[in-house]
């Protein structure tokens, strides 16, 4: 796993072969962050708060910290994966990432914080995968004009969601983009 850009650019972290999680490929991650940086965010301004759901290896979390996010919360249920994410953050000596061991759906329900950017990379076979955008928007945890990116399989379709913006495909990786358009107080 490699950091693409920012203060930890080119740093590599060896993901244990025993992990069930697959890191987002470098190709897909680089293209995703190009789209985010060119169309949605200036990560370097240091004001972005981010939530990484189903954080897995922490690949997206470390990329967000490296690019300048002020705060990144990484939610991961698997204790080995969470330990790996914590180890990475200790190794780079950052205090801007907060790994949390939790079930993502319960976290969404109980979370009282609000985020500029939410990235979700659930297991593609997750039976409730298609409910993730609705749950996030119903909870109000995404700030007005905030962006949600959901990584998913090729058969998942979100075009009918009122918050859907676009779908991008990089190799075998599919990303759907959503925008929060209603102020938090009205959700």
The domains of the chain are located at: 55-172
Which fold would CATH assign to domain 55-172? Rossmann fold (3.40.50)
Per residue in 54-107, pLDDT (tens digit) is: 999 999 999 999 999 999 999 999 999 999 999 999 999 999 999 999 999 999
* CA–CA gap between residue 74 and residue 54 (Å, rounded): 8
Single out the residue of 138, 126, 127 nearest to residue 163, CA to CA: 138
pLDDT surpassing 80 at residue 19: yes
Cβ(50)–Cβ(116) under 8 Å? yes
Cα 137 versus chain centre, distance = 15
- For the segment 32-44, the average pLDDT, to the nearest whole number, is 92
Per residue in 140-186, pLDDT (tens digit) is: 999 999 999 999 989 898 999 999 999 999 988 999 999 987 544 44
Single out the residue of 56, 62, 48, 53 nearest to residue 2, CA to CA: 62
Whole-model pTM: value is 0.93
Cβ(26)–Cβ(59) under 8 Å? no
What's the Cα-to-Cα distance from 7 to each of 54, 146, 163, 176, rounded to whole Å?
24, 24, 32, 27
* CA–CA gap between residue 177 and residue 166 (Å, rounded): 5
* CA–CA gap between residue 91 and residue 33 (Å, rounded): 23
Burial bucket for residue 162 (CB in 10 Å: 0-12, 13-18, 19+) = exposed
Q: Are strands 142-152 and 173-179 parallel, antiparallel or unpaired?
A: antiparallel
């Amino acid at each position: 796993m490699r950091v693409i850009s920012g203060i930890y650019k080119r740093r590599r972290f060896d993901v244990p072969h025993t992990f069930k999680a697959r890191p987002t490929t470098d190709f897909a991650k680089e293209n995703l962050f190009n789209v985010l940086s060119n169309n949605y965010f200036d990560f370097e301004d240091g004001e972005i708060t981010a939530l990484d759901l189903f954080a897995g290896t922490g690949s997206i979390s470390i990329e967000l910290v490296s690019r300048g996010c002020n705060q990144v919360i990484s939610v991961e249920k698997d204790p080995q994966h969470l330990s790996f994410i914590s180890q990475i953050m200790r190794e780079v000596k950052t205090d801007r990432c907060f790994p949390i061991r939790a079930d993502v759906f319960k976290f969404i329900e109980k979370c009282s914080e609000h985020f500029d950017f939410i990235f979700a990379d659930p297991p593609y076979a997750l039976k409730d995968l298609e409910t993730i955008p609705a749950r996030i928007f119903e909870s109000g945890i995404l700030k007005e004009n905030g962006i949600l990116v959901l990584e998913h399989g090729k058969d998942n379709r979100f075009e009918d969601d009122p918050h859907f913006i676009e779908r991008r495909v990089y190799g075998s990786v599919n990303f759907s983009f959503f925008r929060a358009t209603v102020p938090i107080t009205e959700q």
